[in-house]
């Protein structure tokens, strides 16, 4: 089954790829890998803002991480990388805007990790970091970057 068909089967409609908010590009392809800049969480066209452990619940954080994952896939597609050409999601880096006593960053990051497995199957299993930070760009709750291996590159 193609990835596009899998997305349809899962009822997933990818968001429009977000434009960079500063001086960088969303995707750089080099040496057989796509390196994706940190993606922010858009749900219903609005950024998910706030801090886990303060004004964002764990469930909202998981949904925000999933939204970042959707944006990662949308950025791949926007860069004209065939989704069926994804050989492996190699690594996700999850940054969680959280209070000093919040320790569930890995649970938040699962929102994106589980999405990658749901969409890409075993190719979506990846290495990962999930770290808490005191603030993120534009006040968002989560930011996730990625490294993706590409077939035939």
Our count of domains for the chain comes to 1
Domain annotation covers residue 86? yes
Three-state secondary structure string covering 24-41: CCCEEEECCEEEEEEECC
Q: Residue 153's pLDDT is what? A: 61
Percent of the chain with pLDDT over 90: 97
In a domain, residue 24? The reply is no
Q: Two tokens at 138?
A: 């534009």
DSSP-derived secondary structure letter, 92 = E
How do residues 95-148 score in pLDDT, each as one tens digit?
999 999 999 999 999 999 999 999 999 999 999 999 999 999 999 999 999 999
Any residues with CB less than 8 A from the CB of 5 and at least 6 apart, and which?
Answer: none
pLDDT (average), residues 2-30: 96
Would 57 be classed as within a structural domain? yes
Kindly state whether residue 22 falls inside one of the protein's structural domains.
no
Domain CATH number, residue 94: 3.30.1330.40
> Beta strand pairing status for 86-97 and 127-133?
parallel
Task: Read off the pLDDT band of 89 (50, 70, 90).
Answer: very high
CA distance 149 to 153: 8
pLDDT value at position 96? 98
Q: Give the residue numbers spanning the domain of 12.
A: 3-16+30-150
Convert the pLDDT of each residue in 7-17 to its tens digit: 999 999 999 99
In a domain, 50, yes or no: yes
Please tell me the predicted confidence (pLDDT) of residue 146.
98
* The pair of three-digit structure tokens given for residue 88, joined into one six-digit string: 């492996």
Q: Is the pLDDT of residue 152 over 80?
A: no
Residue 25, domain member (yes or no): no
Count Cβ atoms within 10 A of the Cβ of residue 21 and give its class: 0-12 exposed, 13-18 middle, 19 or more buried: exposed
23 domain-assigned? no
Domain assignment of residue 120, yes or no: yes
């Amino acid at each position: 089954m193609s990835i596009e068909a899998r997305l349809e089967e899962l009822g997933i409609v990818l968001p429009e790829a977000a434009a960079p908010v500063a001086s960088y590009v969303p995707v750089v392809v080099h040496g057989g890998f796509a390196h994706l800049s940190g993606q922010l969480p858009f749900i219903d066209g609005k950024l998910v803002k706030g801090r886990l452990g303060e004004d964002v619940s764990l469930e909202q954080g998981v949904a925000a991480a999933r939204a970042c994952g959707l944006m990662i896939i949308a950025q791949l597609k926007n860069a004209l990388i065939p989704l069926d050409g994804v050989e492996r999601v190699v690594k996700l880096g999850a940054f969680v805007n959280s209070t000093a006593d919040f320790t569930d960053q890995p649970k938040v990051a699962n929102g994106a990790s589980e999405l990658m497995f749901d969409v890409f199957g075993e190719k979506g299993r990846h290495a990962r970091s999930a770290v808490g930070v005191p603030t993120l760009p534009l006040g968002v709750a989560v930011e996730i970057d990625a490294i993706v291996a590409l077939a035939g590159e």
